[in-house]
Amino acid sequence: MARAAFYLIVDGRYLPIALGLATRLVDLWKIDVHVFLEDRTVTDRPAGVGSRIFVHLNALDGLRPPDLPETHNWPAIVYDRVFAPRFLQDYDRLIYLDADIYPLHVDPSLLTVDLPSGLGAVQDTASIGFSPHAAKLDRPAWCASIGLESDRYFNSGVLVIDRETWNRIDFPAQLTRYMARYADAVRMPDQDFLNYLFQGRWTEFSPAVNFQKAIFNYGYERTFPPVFVHFSSFQKPWLKPDSPQSPHGQFFPLFQQMIRDAGHDPALVQSGRRESIMRRLRKTSRAWLSRRGVSTRKEARQRLEWQERARYLSAGFKADLKSGRYADTTVRDIDPINPDLSFDGQYLRRPLVITLQENA
């Protein structure tokens, strides 16, 4: 089997989460994890990290071209994921993970599947049938605006990489050329760039490999038992306790324990922000009405949106499975799905049906 490692890239705020994630990855997968801490305000590497966990301090500083577009949700540090493999020469296979991920179980196929282009990834499930809200374009027009001729668009939160093939690419030059043409259109800058660069060539894995927040409410964890659960939205499960009837509530204690296992205090990454009284009252009253069978406009709108997205997801996944598109599964159809959704006054929600693999 090829020698493999995970790598993460974070700033100082996310370091306790990254080290917790690294600890669990080592326990489950028994392979090395490299944490790239990219933060000029940090001058010392953290002490006491676990075995097989390696922390690199500002190793990627200065590698990205200047003046790349960034947003509040997509700061410039996100580009650094393309440069880190050049520092990991001892490995054949690399798996990049965002820090807002919880590993549930091991899938050895990720370490052995052939990657002719150098990259394996999972569709961005939020954009199946849709374009990003910020784009204000229909999906074909949005794809064209960022240079995509392919209708497949992946999420960059989990990237499976053949290091040797990947490192043949001149990423600074490619980024510079791409942004000179498309900088005004990109909404998810490095993700849009990578989709352009690898379009029509990336190896596709099933949603199990990057089980994103956009499909939490649809019951697909039965067909695609998650390897990595990805909280790919502004809501993060470590910020505050939540109802156990939601994935964020389910995973809040799991993230707390994961951070403790790395020797850190989970309170350091919790949010001190509180909802306003009026916001809490509106939310509570809408939830109260929902439990009594009265649907507010907010709930009715969300249920209609759920039904529309459910149709796109079902048709897309059925077609993908029938064609054998996914490199990590031989399943050919989706399980019957009829999830029971409650409304908490703000969002539709349901707990994920998952199996948690214990540390070996």
Identify the pLDDT of residue 71.
85
Query: Could you tell me what percent of the chain has a pLDDT over 90?
Result: 85
Q: Flag whether pLDDT at 1 surpasses 70.
A: no
Name residue 216's amino acid. Answer: F
pTM: 0.95
Report the distance separating Cα 174 and Cα 161, nearest Å: 18
Average pLDDT over residues 204-225: 96
**What does the domain layout of the chain look like in residue ranges?**
4-210
Q: What is the mean pLDDT of residues 167-188?
A: 96
The whole-number average pLDDT for the span 308-323 is 95
Which amino acid appears at position 186 of this protein?
Answer: V
Q: What is the pLDDT of residue 8?
A: 98
Could you tell me the sign of the dihedral formed by the alpha carbons of 210, 215, 217, 222, in that order? negative
* pLDDT computed for residue 271 by the predictor: 82
What number is the average pLDDT over the span 31-47? 93
Contacts (Cβ under 8 Å, ≥6 apart) of 263? 19, 48
Tokens encoding 34: 């490299």
Across the chain, what does the average pLDDT equal?
94
CATH of domain 4-210: 3.90.550.10
Quick one: pLDDT at residue 37? 97
Average the pLDDT over each of 251-265, 310-324, 333-347 and give the range with the smallest value: 333-347
**Cβ contact 144:184 at 8 Å:** no
